[in-house]
Amino acid sequence: MNLSENALAVLNKRYFKKDDQGRPIENWQQLLDRVSSNISGGDVSKKEKYFKLMDSGYFLPNSPTLMNAGNDLQQLSACFVLPIEDSMEGIFDTIKNAALIHKSGGGTGFNFSKLREANARVRSTKGVSSGPLSFLKVFNAATDAVKQGGTRRGANMAILNVDHPEILEFITCKENPDDLTNFNISVGLSEKFMRAVHDDIDFELISPYTREIVNKVKARAVFDLIVDMAYRNGEPGIIFIDRINKFNPTPQLGRIDSTNPCGEQPLLPNEACNLGSINLSAFVKDSKFDFDTLKMIVRDSVSFLNDVIDRSRFPLPEIEEVVKSNRKIGLGIMGWADVLYQMKIPYNSDQAIDLAEEIMEYIDYYSKIRSIELAVESGKFSNFKGSIYEKGNLIRSNNNLDWQKLREEIAGKGIRNASTTTIAPTGTIGMIANTSGGIEPQFSLIYVKSVMDGDKLLYINPYFEKAIKRADLYSEELMEKVSEIGSIAKMEEIPEEIREVFVTAHDISPQWHIKMQAAFQKYTDNAVSKTINFPNNATKEDIKMAYELAYESGCKGVTVYRDGSRDNQVLNVGKKLKSELNGNRVAPRQRPAVTTGVTQKIETGCGHLYVTINSDENGPCELFTQMGKVGGCASAQLEAIARLVSLCLRSNVKVTSIIKQLRGIRCPSPMWHQGEMVTSCGDSVAKSLDTFLQISQNSEKNIDEINQNMTKVKSKSNSKKINGTCPDCGSNIEHSEGCMKCNICGWTKC
């Protein structure tokens, strides 16, 4: 496979083995040799087949397999679901188990619905429960402390069923984007709830502890709240939990309550699944799709993923038992948008929907044919008895292939894997294969992607570039214009036949996004990872319509994202892109000739510090510092801080963001100032900015009144028992309700 510069950057950063100094000691061929040798289990012919499979560009397994196969860790699965029982022991056992999974490189999903609501009685202590949201924060904090395989923090999915008494609080729990940063959240919607929304009637909230009705709410009001929050920041997502269980392959083992972090892999408690994806863009030859080669690649890919189960080292024995009893694999796809570009088919067309169904039916059907063959060779999965396969209940409609014949063959011979197909996002393996992710349309024809540790990688779609050159339209000016806009839909200088084919995410209406997801879901065992992208000017009604259409068209869940609704998004286009490509980034506004401001005096361990903050017509624009003792290291550092803060202020960085970065920085000489601990000169600048915000918010008051009010605040804080500094952020801590606590970062100790 020919690797792009971007692919090599990702491989060097995350996948290649490294020495003790963190330097890569592998190349692509050595990685493939390591992975194929390990997964083949010493079978020479298999090793050669698996090496060619990955090097061909047709197929790649999920990231943990590429990273860990043949290494000490040997944890090869990406997706895990853990149970949470309604007891202190059960909750913290799950936290411990999640930490072990994160350490090994996996992501975890949880359903918090078994936890009794806040203030419910706790029989053992005669007290009351703190509720699922309090424990969700504990799970989030634990994830912060553990890096996946030593390289990144773990990812989680939190689900709460819509009939839980704390569902309204859960829906809004990520209103602040700084909260629960290690979790995606989704609401589990039942068939009963969706009927209540349709009929506009009340819906009952039921205590998971007593099973009693504790409240009734308007179903549409709950649904509208989900829509409102998704409009504001993209969360929560929704999953149709009853529909997921309708397709549960082993209902005799219990209900499926949760999914992996991206939502495409519903799993039983203590179950894991390894995924892999076929690069569909590699099968287009002369604008035609090569189904014959696809059949061969599907067979080899299923064999590979099935062998991964036997080679994987699982972090918990309970997980190993369930995995090896069900043997679920998830073969999916990537490169769908690039397929359509090559075949000159608009994403938002019936022709694309029909092709999606045809290709996914083919993959699903022949993945099961190969799994039947593996069952004949090695035995059907252990929990086959009582499964949908034994009963002939595999739900597929006959389209191009004979599903009835397949059902009969499975019932007679068995099948090796309880599931064979899943469509994942393929973020990084798509980058390695240099193709579009999953079934998503291209976000932009030219864009920058933010990847690990803030790195930026430039992408220009090769099929668009070829089309423009074939039309003899290529120029630097045109490409620059495309990079600014991100779309060619309204660029009349480009022929209409090119504009119709090279559509991007925001050119496509939500209806077509949903139709495409539903087309692939029709022939996928598990679920389909798909984000419905909305432009910034989309309305709440647009999002509501997308949710309703997803339910009506057979999707198992849906996630929406309105462009610009979060401060930090992964993909960016437009002027921000242009400035980054040119290396200019954001330029600060000019300082006016005259500014006005306030000066504060603060005692620090280095001496008296005077901090002046000035404003122009747009708000704060500069900060100056003056130390009582001129010269020396402290003064030089303070001047550097002041210059950088001034640059940030004139570049429209939020003052609160600057405060957050400077607050609590510690030096060897902390100092008390008016009842607060000043931990360093940088901390004193943060405190000055905080006071400045208070003054700005009360600008109608005169300085004397503000000083008097601040004195009262300081006097009140001095009346509290202050004892030391917070070990996490360095701010002062206070005693309250028998505990020490930090009001800045939330650290507590009782």
Active site amino acids: 260, 262, 264
Q: How is residue 586 annotated by DSSP?
A: P
User: Which two three-digit tokens encode residue 661?
Assistant: 């970065």
> How far apart, in whole angstroms, are the C-alpha atoms of residue 393 and residue 407?
8
Contact predicate 438/336, CB 8 Å: yes
> How far apart, in whole angstroms, are the C-alpha atoms of residue 692 and residue 686?
10
> How far apart, in whole angstroms, are the C-alpha atoms of residue 29 and residue 8?
12
Contact predicate 384/390, CB 8 Å: yes
Q: How far is CA 510 from CA 3, 347, 482, 592, in A?
A: 34, 12, 23, 46
Helix crossing, 681-697 with 632-650: angle to 10°?
40
Of 248, 267, 250, 228, which Cα lies nearest the Cα of 110? 267
Give ∠ CA 357-7-567 in degrees, rounded to 5.
80
Contact predicate 421/524, CB 8 Å: yes
> How far apart, in whole angstroms, are the C-alpha atoms of residue 447 and residue 459?
5
Of 400, 405, 553, 574, which Cα lies nearest the Cα of 482? 574
Q: Is 25 helix (H, G, I), strand (E, B) or coil?
A: coil
734 strand-pairing partners? 722, 741
Q: Is 159 helix (H, G, I), strand (E, B) or coil?
A: strand
User: Which two three-digit tokens encode residue 621?
Assistant: 């624009």
Ranges of H-type helices in 553-622 = 575-581
How big, in percent rounded to 5, are the helix, strand and coil portions of the chain? 45, 20, 35
Of 225, 268, 262, which Cα lies nearest the Cα of 244? 268
CA pseudo-torsion sign 453, 259, 528, 415: positive
> How far apart, in whole angstroms, are the C-alpha atoms of residue 690 and residue 662?
11
Ranges of H-type helices in 80-238 = 88-103, 132-145, 167-171, 191-199, 219-233
User: Which two three-digit tokens encode residue 61?
Assistant: 């397994």
Helix (H) or strand (E) holding 373: helix 350-378
Of 62, 682, 51, 40, which Cα lies nearest the Cα of 429? 62
What size, in residues, is the chain? Answer: 750
User: Which two three-digit tokens encode residue 227?
Assistant: 């829509």
Sheet strands (E) in 229-371 = 237-240, 258-259, 266-267, 271-279, 284-285, 288-289, 329-334
Residues with Cβ within 8 Å of residue 127, at least 6 apart in sequence: 121
> How far apart, in whole angstroms, are the C-alpha atoms of residue 465 and residue 459?
11
Place of tokens 């701010």: 731
> How far apart, in whole angstroms, are the C-alpha atoms of residue 623 and residue 716?
29
Q: Which amino acid is at 97?
A: N
Helix (H) or strand (E) holding 609: strand 607-616
